[in-house]
Amino acid sequence: MSDTTLPAVAKSFFTFCKKCDADRYHTVITHTSSTSAKIECEVCHSKKTYSLPKAGTARKVPVVKDPTRKPGRRSSHADEYNQLMMNRGSEAGLPFSIRTKYTINQKIDHPKFGAGFVKAVLIDRVDVMFQDELKTLIHNKN
């Protein structure tokens, strides 16, 4: 998505959620005009209107993350993920497979998303915290 076009309906994109007070993925519900769309947060399910930035105004999004700096907008799990990587980053993670049964705080290596840590376990699903986002993955399938 560029700064001059809206994302397509039913597509997800990363923007700030006021209710979560963090950068989150949002799904486009509908386009209300050529410069605005109705979107829904994929975490808290709050709905809001997203407008394209006005021409000539630069978006203030830090490109390089400095761990010593405390930005206003950041992923809600970034600090926790960085702490786990400092403590357990050298530890070998289990290669991800939907047939494997995982436990909480276990480190896994996913072929697409990279290193992650299991945060919640259900019978057939696990929530895994990766560097960029929290993903729900299938596990324990025989």
Domains of the chain (ranges, CATH numbers):
12-51 (2.20.25), 78-138 (no CATH)
Separation of alpha carbons 64 and 19, rounded Å: 25
Binning pLDDT at 50, 70 and 90, where does residue 57 land? Answer: low
Task: Map tokens 């919640």 to a residue.
Answer: 120
0.85 surpassed by pTM: no
Among 138, 123, 19, 134, residue whose Cα is nearest residue 75: 134
For residue range 103-115, list pLDDT tens digits in order. Answer: 998 999 998 888 8
Give me the residues paired with residue 130 across strands.
Answer: 116
The residue that leads in pLDDT, 85 or 30, is: 30
Among 54, 18, 59, 52, residue whose Cα is nearest residue 36: 52
Question: Long-range contact list for 73-80, CB < 8 A, 24+ apart?
Answer: 73/16, 73/22, 73/23, 74/22, 74/23, 75/22, 75/23, 75/132, 75/133, 76/20, 76/21, 76/22, 77/129, 77/134, 80/129
- State percent of the chain over pLDDT 70: 81
pLDDT of residue 108: 92
pLDDT value at 128 more than 70: yes
For residue range 15-54, list pLDDT tens digits in order. Answer: 888 888 888 888 999 999 988 999 999 889 999 999 888 7
Give me the residues paired with residue 95 across strands.
Answer: 109
